[in-house]
Amino acid sequence: MKKIIGLLLACFLAVPTVSFAHTHVQTTVPENGATVTAPLKEIKLTFETHIEKISTVTVTKDGQKISLASQKVEGHDLIASLDQPLKNGSYTVDWEIVGEDGHVMKDSIAFKVDVKDEAKEENTQAAGKDSEKKQDATQSEQHQKSAVANDEKTENNDSSSFFVIMIIAIVVVVGALLLIFRKKKS
């Protein structure tokens, strides 16, 4: 009897660690390690699960904080809007989020900005328009792939949760039946 109760207790204590994993960053715009060649006024971090509104982001260049126009949380996304486009140089984005499971996660990404000056840009404006179209198409494809991946992960999480719940239900039913049969024998 004590073994059965101990087994049931162990199953119930193990379930939260299986079904509630920490959320991790899924995608970033700009990507970690990327070199940005177009004016950048927004940084977007997308996480695997919903994040809490108290999540924050800090942007620094050479150890100096960059002023943000705003930062907001929208579902899985942490978005930082900048007062003005970032100047050329190396940047670090430090983020601290609270996942839907209540755990605090911290990490950072780094990227470089290398926007050409306006005189050169005017000479290559026609080429830039083609590049922008390709970049927009690439970003659109990335967003579509990200959406598909999110849908697949949600389906996997739903099926994993269902599987865990079913195992718990089976263990509870088997435990209850064993207790009933033991009482009848006594």
Tell me the β-bridge partners of 73. 78
CB neighbourhood size of 89 (10 A):
10
The larger pLDDT score, comparing residue 117 to residue 113, is at: 113
CA–CA distance, 95 with 47 (Å, rounded to integer)? 11
Q: The domain containing residue 101 runs over which residues? A: 40-113
Tell me, what CATH number does 88's domain have?
A: 2.60.40.1220
pTM above 0.85, yes or no: no
- Asked whether residue 120 is assigned to any structural domain, the reply reads no
Produce one character per residue of 45-76: b if its CB has 16 or more CB atoms within 10 Å, e if not. bbbbbebeeebebebeeeeeebeeeebebeeb
- Asked whether residue 64 is assigned to any structural domain, the reply reads yes
Tell me the per-residue pLDDT of 32-85, one tens digit each, with 9 for 90 and over.
999 999 999 999 999 999 999 999 999 999 999 999 999 999 999 999 999 999
pLDDT value of residue 119: 44
- Asked whether residue 155 is assigned to any structural domain, the reply reads no
CA–CA distance, 108 with 95 (Å, rounded to integer)? 6
